[in-house]
Structure 1
């Protein structure tokens, strides 16, 4: 950048153009308006775009189950155990395999069927880890707004206030939603096994716990046709839900540690060493942007590699080397990209 721009404040672009340059700015001026709030209430953010397309996830799941059903149906004579219906047993075996429950009520009994089971257990685990769990996470987040509104049903809370609370306690609400869904699935599974599979309550609850944890001892399982139809959907949802709960608990623990670090950094006294480290452009003065960046680095929210990469992008866009970005810089940068 040009040397004459070294003294340009990093937050100069936030100043009102109508304000004279030599006018004294109040020393405790604060920027309280966040440009991210309209984005939360309206258009999709970048994070929202990272969520999986649920339609695509369902297509992958249907294709996986269809392929598994066909394959296991063709080798049904090489699978031993308690059988009800060829197609139903094949779908049920796919679900039990991909979720790694492995009751043992249906077992591969030949070399081709064993190799086929090995292929489907790895592909099924990958499908759950990479796609279905993210889809479940997406669905849970969609319910957060309704949850916060329900918690404040007797209070006059606007949509913007709800969005702020969701942003503040997102991980905790997610954990609460997943835990609630898991409790419902446990109760539903226990009641179904007790009424349809004719197990007593203890055995039914025992079977539910061994299933959702993918322990799958096999002494208790779904043995009827109706039970296996229920199990196709219930096993898939319950095992994913439990995995999501463990992930949410880890997120809550990480968030607690992060907030403790933030409080520690903000409580620490600022020294001359801190000012020297925060002075990015080495002009002897630390602006608001420089101070914010330094504090974020101490909090572990950003690292030097991130700052370097952003500065490189800034310098690429700053075509006229003025030290600031303008619409003309963007147009020139785009034209240079097009020319290359």
Structure 2
């Protein structure tokens, strides 16, 4: 074992990180820079935009947010070729920034909640071994995480609609029905244009509120679709595991055509039936195995590993 540990190995490939806090910070900084650039461009071309004016900087930020969130109330619109091209570019590029930012923030919150739930499940193993073990296994399957994502996203949507309704009623002096109407039309990015933010405090609030609420709605729909797909996959997995093997399935599962099915062949066949692995995945794994099996004996030995690492 000492010789193996001292053996010169190839550097290991680091595990990819998809929702690190560094990505969130970078996206947030890029979003600030991007909005600052949009405000600067708008300020130099403010006379080429038509609509209700309050404060130059606030109007610029408000227009950039409304455009980037694909709402488009119509209270401020570009009226020249240059400003129209600026609006097109701003919405196409900027929407990706806030999507990455919000998805990273949601993933960070979910990871934190999941780690706390996993810690609680592990601590409970001594008291309720079987129940806690089953609960821990269920968490590892990812079902609780999907439910958490759906609940969190829907909760944020409801909160945003409620906060928006209250602010519009007291700040924009709209009736409760019109406030609720404008709030829903805003977070769903409909933006008919019959109602909009006209006051300076209202536009300051909208510049922050719209950035969160519109993406929260989009994420909620995505998570609901993800939950339905996960439920369908689990139903398919249960159906596959309950089926008895027929002769045709036996022949399909016998990968090496030697007249019997090993446990590994059975596992691979069931995973294919569940849709969790494809022929392409199996082909790539087999190619990697053949590369490591330098002796062509159908198994990977320690000598094979040492030869591959030289």
What TM-score results when the alignment is normalised by the length of structure 2? 0.83
Between stretches 316-325 and 280-289, larger displacement belongs to 316-325
Structure 1 regions of 5+ residues with no counterpart? 1-44, 336-340
Instruction: Confirm or deny that 1:221 pairs with 2:191.
Output: no
Contact 2:24 2:105 in 1 (8 A): no
**Mapping 1:20-99, distance limit 5 Å:** 46=15, 49-51=17-19, 53-99=23-69
Q: Secondary structure at the match of 1:322?
A: coil
Instruction: Confirm or deny that 1:205 pairs with 2:180.
Output: yes
Check 1:253–1:274 CA distance in 2 against 1; reply closer, same or farther (3 A cut): same
Paired residue for 2:82?
Answer: 112
Check 1:51–1:72 CA distance in 2 against 1; reply closer, same or farther (3 A cut): same
Q: Structure 1, residues 99-132: CA drift from partner, whole Å, max 9, x if none?
A: 1111111111222111211111211233345x23
CA distance in 2, matches of 1:188, 1:147: 29
Paired residue for 2:104?
Answer: 135
Q: Which has the higher contact order (CA 8 A, sep 6+)?
A: 1
Instruction: Give the root-mean-square deviation of aligned CA atoms.
Output: 2.6
1:324 is displaced (CA, Å) by 2.5
Contact 1:54 1:135 in 2 (8 A): yes
1:328 is displaced (CA, Å) by 4.1
Paired residue for 1:256?
Answer: 231
1:75 is displaced (CA, Å) by 0.6
**Mapping 1:1-340, distance limit 5 Å:** 46=15, 49-51=17-19, 53-129=23-99, 131-145=100-114, 164-166=137-139, 167-335=142-310
CA distance in 1, matches of 2:300, 2:233: 33
Q: Structure 1, residues 269-297: CA drift from partner, whole Å, max 9, x if none?
A: 11232222112222222111110110010
More helix by share: 2
Contact 2:98 2:211 in 1 (8 A): no
Check 1:140–1:242 CA distance in 2 against 1; reply closer, same or farther (3 A cut): farther
Aligned residues: 286
